[in-house]
Structure 1
Amino acid sequence: MLVYFHGGAFFLGSLETHDHVARALAKETGLRVVSVGYRLAPEAAFPAGLDDCYAVVRRVAEEGRSLGRDGTTLAVAGDSSGGTFAAAVAARAHDDGFDRITHQILYYPSLDLDFDVDRYASLRENAVGHGLETAGLKPFNAFHLDSGADPADPLVSPVKRRDLSGLPPALVATGQYDPMRDDGELYGRRLREAGARTTVSRYDDAGHGFVQHFSWLPEYTGSSRRHATSSTGRTGGGRP
């Protein structure tokens, strides 16, 4: 079973806007997909949305057989801010001693929400001209940050978690022209260094949000667009 969290900078997106993504994941993976309609900022202050995502994962683990789960795979997945929540849920579960999550799948995740342009080259290289622009990142995430989400908190910026050991195997997919490309790839490298089996794939010519185009843009449907893939690690189960 796969639990999916949609993107939208924590204030946009819904079950409906990302239904085609959830259905594509179900079709391509063969897994049952539970798509989560978590509470959004600013009406729901942090950590309401994260709490919702975590609660669904716990319930799926506890009652999954009634939903058709066979007791093996329990993956968390998300795109953009949903990827943030997927990484945070995996970390929170580990801290709680809840070891049922088998994979974390992060599509162009936003993992460092202080958006420091001096820390990540991609914030400068891809600042303008590729859809999502660096200057818009803080305003676009303002509802979330102003609701109590502190960028220094590892549950807000998962790349800032000091110890990544014990976290589930991961797939991190990034886009060449995404301003947030580098913090996602840094997270993948740090997971590998901590011993988690991790694959990092960068897609050529892709900007932020490309997973939403899987259904109708042929160039995003196959693996031929992957620029580089690396996988290593000492712990964890099969490939994400």
Structure 2
Amino acid sequence: MTVSHSWDMPLRTKLLARALSRSRSAERMQTADEIARSRAWFAPARVPFTWITGSVPAGVEIGSTSFRARDGHEVAVRTYRPRHAESEALPAMLWFHGGGWVLGNTRGYDPLCAWIADRAGVAVLNVDYRLAPEHRAPQAAHDCIDAARWAASDASGPGVRHTALGLAGDSAGGNLAAVAAQVLGAEGGAEIAYQALVYPAVDATMSSPSVAQHAHAPILTRRDMDMFLAHYLGTDEHALDPLDPLVSPLHAPDLGGLPPALVQTADLDPLRDEGAAYAEALREAGVEVRHTNYPRVPHGFMSFPGATRVGGSARVELGEWVARHARPGSVG
């Protein structure tokens, strides 16, 4: 495991982290209006924002579609595909965005999802799953599982292959990708070829050492995590048990037979150790795993590669993992 001195970040990373921490802290998420405003925001696709987030490649077409979830709700999906492959049925990767199951939106992930589509030659399906506190656990997980089953069916259309799907996401989205991989492996309904978990939240007990070590970290604090989990799990008699694998995939009784997993963690992140623990648990269960811990970066760094020294490398690793498993033989 990489070890870093507390908040030993490059200056540009530190400045951006401070700004983001002020704008999205738990203290500012006390009312429905504040949550709604935060959900709606995304970085504009123009300079100087694209210096930080990266730009959408010109060769990628962004579109939209939807599917009907198990309860009849229509779930929106933002799509990304290389323009040169407009008539081709492409391998599909489902992306589940971060935001603590409470915040976030699909448009905010345009730079990353479009970059993956272009780099790996896949169709990326960015799922607008339902958020808490309006929709508590396990609603988000159900939407993401239903999304994979939809992508594996003819209902998703001729533009994607319905086999060998990928599941990917960051933070809460990494949680949902891991949960979906487990449920689909046990119950069927979609053939999953790989998973890519970017600083995933996989243990709702918050008992790993890095939660205490980085309780006051930039971007994501222990107080933020408490707030997110209270919204997602609930705090009444109907609250979901934090040990339930539908919210804590690390605590699933059997991890054998799951698809290959890339796990990327950030060293200055409360979630670092649970991501590392999940990678090790998968490895011990016989699953192919690649775990990379990136030094001197906080939670969320994949979304602002221009403000870090390793964000570009992390994206390349992610893109190559997707390409290797979506298109075997495409990457040496």
Match of 2:205 in 1: 114
Matched, 1:123 2:211: yes
What residue ranges of structure 2 are gaps of 5+ in the alignment?
1-91, 318-326
Task: Tell me how far apart the structure 1 counterparts of residues 159 and 138 of structure 2 sit (CA, whole Å).
Answer: 29
Matched, 1:36 2:127: yes
Paired residues of 1:41 and 1:143 also in contact (CA < 8 A): yes
Paired residues of 1:164 and 1:191 also in contact (CA < 8 A): yes
Note the alpha carbon deviations across 1:12-44, whole angstroms, 9 max, x for none: 111122222211221222211000000111111
Give runs of aligned pairs for residues 1-240 of structure 1, distance below 5 A.
1-63=92-154, 66-70=157-161, 73-98=164-189, 100-116=191-207, 120-146=208-234, 148-214=239-305, 216-217=306-307, 219=309, 220-222=311-313
CA shift for structure 1 position 109? 0.4
Task: Tell me how far apart the structure 1 counterparts of residues 109 and 314 of structure 2 sit (CA, whole Å).
Answer: 22
CA shift for structure 1 position 90? 0.3
Match of 2:88 in 1: none
Paired residues of 1:64 and 1:71 also in contact (CA < 8 A): no
CA shift for structure 1 position 131? 2.8
Task: Tell me how far apart the structure 2 counterparts of residues 45 and 135 of structure 1 sit (CA, whole Å).
Answer: 19
Cα distance, 1:133–1:54 mapped onto 2, change above 3 Å: same
Cα distance, 1:157–1:66 mapped onto 2, change above 3 Å: same
Over alpha carbons, which structure has the higher Rg?
2
Paired residues of 1:104 and 1:170 also in contact (CA < 8 A): yes
Give TM-score scaled by structure 2 length. 0.63
Note the alpha carbon deviations across 1:163-200, whole angstroms, 9 max, x for none: 10011110000001111101111111111111111100
Number of corresponding residues = 226
Paired residues of 1:204 and 1:225 also in contact (CA < 8 A): no
Task: Tell me how far apart the structure 2 counterparts of residues 54 and 224 of structure 1 sit (CA, whole Å).
Answer: 25
What residue ranges of structure 1 are gaps of 5+ in the alignment?
227-236
Task: Tell me how far apart the structure 1 counterparts of residues 190 and 107 of structure 2 sit (CA, whole Å).
Answer: 30
Cα distance, 1:53–1:124 mapped onto 2, change above 3 Å: same
The letter for the 2-side match of 1:131 is I
Task: Tell me how far apart the structure 1 counterparts of residues 170 and 163 of structure 2 sit (CA, whole Å).
Answer: 23
Match of 1:229 in 2: none
Paired residues of 2:297 and 2:308 also in contact (CA < 8 A): no
